[in-house]
Structure 1
Amino acid sequence: MLPPFVPRDLVAERLPVIFPEGTPNRTYCTRELAASTVFTMLYIGAVEHTNVRLGPVHVYRMTDLQATSSTDEERLSYRSNLRKKSFEVPGKRWYADNTREPIRDETLREGLVAIGAVMEDKDIPTTSGKPRYALKSDLAALFDPALQGSTLQAAIFKWQEEHLNKGALARVSLMRLGAVDKDGVMIHFPNGETRILAYGPSSLISRAVVEVFAQQFLEKPGVLWLSESSNKVAMQDLRMASTIGLDIEAHKNLPDLILVDLGPAQPLIVFVEVVATDGAITARRKDALFELTDKGGFKRSQVAFVTAYADRESPGFKKTVTGLAWGSFAWFMSEPDKIFMLRGETSQLSDLNRLLADLES
């Protein structure tokens, strides 16, 4: 039996709810091409526990006219006859033949298969052109048009809890932090003090840097400086920074955060830029901040630079990643126990052995 007929618009509407912000490779799972692919799987009945499988050809040869042909007879005809050269699909095709690769490599393999939403039939040889993909049955059930309102939402939450891995669930939970506390973002400092920042994406990332990053990566963390777009200078921070020799000018080269690690014998100064849309640690920015620490008498080995983002798939990261300074770090709120290092100079290619050893340690 075929699944209930579902229009592509309904699939497109539900995919971003099923795969919320923080889902790995979310774009591949929620864009129009993903909606077209999931719709076509449901249309031809390519669902787990059946012998029906989908290939990219089923998606790129679909048309608006065919997609509205909703009877079982019309759907089965499309499924059975599509690969015959003599079969004419009525209407204008959705995609050209060269869309085969994005459907197969991005939407399916890197998106829906990787996240556990689609199964790939491993009994079919990799060199075969036979269709090999099917929608997982419990996910297919979420597109039943009869599911609506709170019942649908409960079913989606249940699917997420059972099928997204722990890392993905953690990312989703962190990305949902912005759904609460609209009046302000309260940050708890390591010394027990608190400060409320104006609500916004930058403030949420700043809170994660202070409450999560600092605890994860610094031995004995402290906050020397915290600014925000609506209040660039907090005088208590300015005085604290000045007492250790950092002469910070509010109108010039102002960092979003300055952390200090008092655990090592030589304190570590950590400059952090928070990026919701722009403003990463670039080479120019790094040099300007080094001027501050040089003037304060700090060795450059006592200084670190971090750019903090919400997620690797955030627009801010995609916009600024090519400008990140060598010798700096990137940290993502959605993956709090990991850090991205832009390693500087290495003397020779054989240093890869040493770098691999560092990764394992």
Structure 2
Amino acid sequence: MPSIKSAQKILELIGMPDKQCAELPALTLLAMADIDEQATWDRSTNNWIRIHDIIQFVNTNYRKNYAENSRETFRKQAIQHFMQAGIIENNDKATNSPNFRYRITSEFKELIQKFDSVEWEFKLNEFSNSHETLKNKYESKRNLTKIPITINSEGFEFSTGKHNELQKAIIEEFAPRFAQNTEVIYVGDTTNKFLVLNQDRFKELKMEVFAHDKLPDVVLYDKDKNWLYFIEAVTSVGEITPKRIIEIEEITKDCDAGNIYITAFQDFKTYKKFANSIAWETEVWLAESPEHMIHLNGDRFMGPRD
């Protein structure tokens, strides 16, 4: 029968670092393969799954008690390393989309299905001999489709996708026009939720550093004006609604900076789909018309809410 120890053994045998052979990564593997204590490894699946689902599976099937706010622990100790090793993949949705998922790759699923069978050694050797090539192929594919971007005068790369293309436009097209002299203090990426996170600035502003689940996609700070720009990049979900404003104001309740709320879209067609749900006293920016803003602030233009 599968066990935490057997999952740890699999991770060890494919060459994962010691820290990624610990209990939590092993539990993550079991959850992603949909293997409870009554199942056998040959029944492993690779269905799409959220980190929330992993936590629920582990707590239910392995009698653990991980809290919902431990998602970042699972991401940092297991998911990110599994992604780098090329044994899992994501579905390239925006990270703040409810449809964002991970799954075990088909190649890795075929391997673990043979664990503890007469074919295991052969399959492991076959996987080991080809996996480095497979990892390189994944890495090459990711690198070919990386989106280069300059953030705070430093070079970074976004993974491919419409959401990150819009985030790039926010930083390189919106900010120079409508938020001059600001610094990017937070922006995430599909594979790295904390691509940029200025913890010192967050602490200085008395904001929750790891409230990333509530933060919008891009946060800019204008030190001279003491203004914060909270910007959502919307391709399929995530516009600035009254509810989002309440969530962000909770994060900034101890901060004396002025808050500016902006929903960014690629084009007017997408904006129209969300127009009825965007909060008043906020701003809208369209990447296809970068020189213009849509102000939902009556006779007042860009600036913090009263």
TM-score normalised by L of structure 2: 0.48
**Structure (1 or 2) with the larger CA radius of gyration:** 1
- Larger relative contact order (C-alpha < 8 A, sep ≥ 6)? 1
TM-score, normalization by structure 1: 0.41
